[in-house]
Amino acid sequence: MMRLSPRSAVLCAAFALAASAVSAQSLPGGGDTRSSGLGGLLNGLSSFTQKESPEEEARSGEDIAAPVLGAAPPWKNSTVQRYVNLVGRRVADQAERRDVAWRFAVIDSPSINAMAFPGGIVVVTRGLYALLDTEDELAAVLGHEIAHVNRKHQWKVIRQQKLVALAEGRITGKDASKTSKLVADLGAKLIARGLDKSAEFEADRDGAVLAARAGYDSSALISVMQKLSRVTSDQGDASLLFATHPAPAQRIEQLVAAASPELEVAAVPSPAAARLKSAHSAP
């Protein structure tokens, strides 16, 4: 969750006004404000607000992912990488967004975590991957991350903070490398602090639905949560995951409380459940 300084909050309010004024201006019959001083300001601001595009989102996601992949590159196991991409893409294709380039990877880190980046990059650490026993569990983990991208959870936060940085003159929008650096820093902070709890619960609910739409066990996230609640230090370090997410027991409770009868019916192991183990043992 982003916290704003009072000054930033004022600037944000100015942006909100600017955005609404600009959209009003584009309506048929809307008065032309271009000639006034305020109109000029609004047009200047609108060049920022109108910039949002899947391309900008993708670029930002890549800027944020770059240091993460620098710290933990994709695991050199092409069989597992392909497998995770097949399962990930299968689940992602159940989501609504079509303007995303889905890319999945198991990254070579012993810690236990998974992350989504704006624009469709999803990574699972080797530590978390090793905890999984079935393809249904993998689909559940990927479904949660896909849901974050589908709802633009991270991107909305980053985008808003980027606008504040523009308004405060910390970036100009013309220096691409400076913008990339700022976005990477904002992303690192977001990774360390985590999203709002409600966004995590929403990703749990949506992720279970996406996985179940794809044909997987709608209750597999519960298995993953049970494993997380029992994880021991020799299985890997899950401290970042726990610092940025609600407790596993609370996540199970919220997921269960929200489950629809249709989702409960889908709580059966999929025919693909055992595939994960065979992908594991492959060279």
Q: How far is CA 46 from CA 13, 73, 158, 174, in A?
A: 14, 38, 18, 15
DSSP codes of every residue in 83-94 = HHHHHHHHHHTT
Q: What residue type is assigned to position 182 of the chain?
A: L
111 and 238 Cβ atoms separated by less than 8 Å: yes
211: number of Cβ within 10 Å:
33
Residue among 42 and 92 whose Cβ is closer to another protein: 92
Residue 266: CB minimum distance to another protein, A: 6
How far does Cα 175 stand from its chain's mean position? 26
Residue 28: CB minimum distance to another protein, A: 35
Residue 193: CB minimum distance to another protein, A: 5
Residue 50: CB minimum distance to another protein, A: 26
Tokens of 18: 């600017």
Residue among 48 and 242 whose Cβ is closer to another protein: 242
Beta strand 121-125 pairing with 103-107: parallel
Residue among 17 and 249 whose Cβ is closer to another protein: 249
Which residues pair with residue 124 across a beta bridge?
106, 114
88 and 146 Cβ atoms separated by less than 8 Å: yes
184 and 63 Cβ atoms separated by less than 8 Å: yes
Residue among 167 and 241 whose Cβ is closer to another protein: 241
Residue 65: CB minimum distance to another protein, A: 5
Residue among 17 and 243 whose Cβ is closer to another protein: 243
Residue among 233 and 281 whose Cβ is closer to another protein: 233
By CB atoms closer than 10 A (0-12, 13-18, 19+), residue 169 is: exposed
Residue 239: CB minimum distance to another protein, A: 4
Give, to the nearest 10 degrees, the angle between helix 54-71 and helix 153-167.
100
3-state DSSP call for residue 103? Answer: strand
Find the helix or strand (DSSP H, E) in which 104 lies. strand 103-107
Residue among 18 and 272 whose Cβ is closer to another protein: 272
Residue among 46 and 109 whose Cβ is closer to another protein: 109
Residue 18: CB minimum distance to another protein, A: 26
Tokens of 168: 């405060």
Q: Return d(Cα 102, Cα 8) in angstroms, integer.
A: 33
Residue 272: CB minimum distance to another protein, A: 4
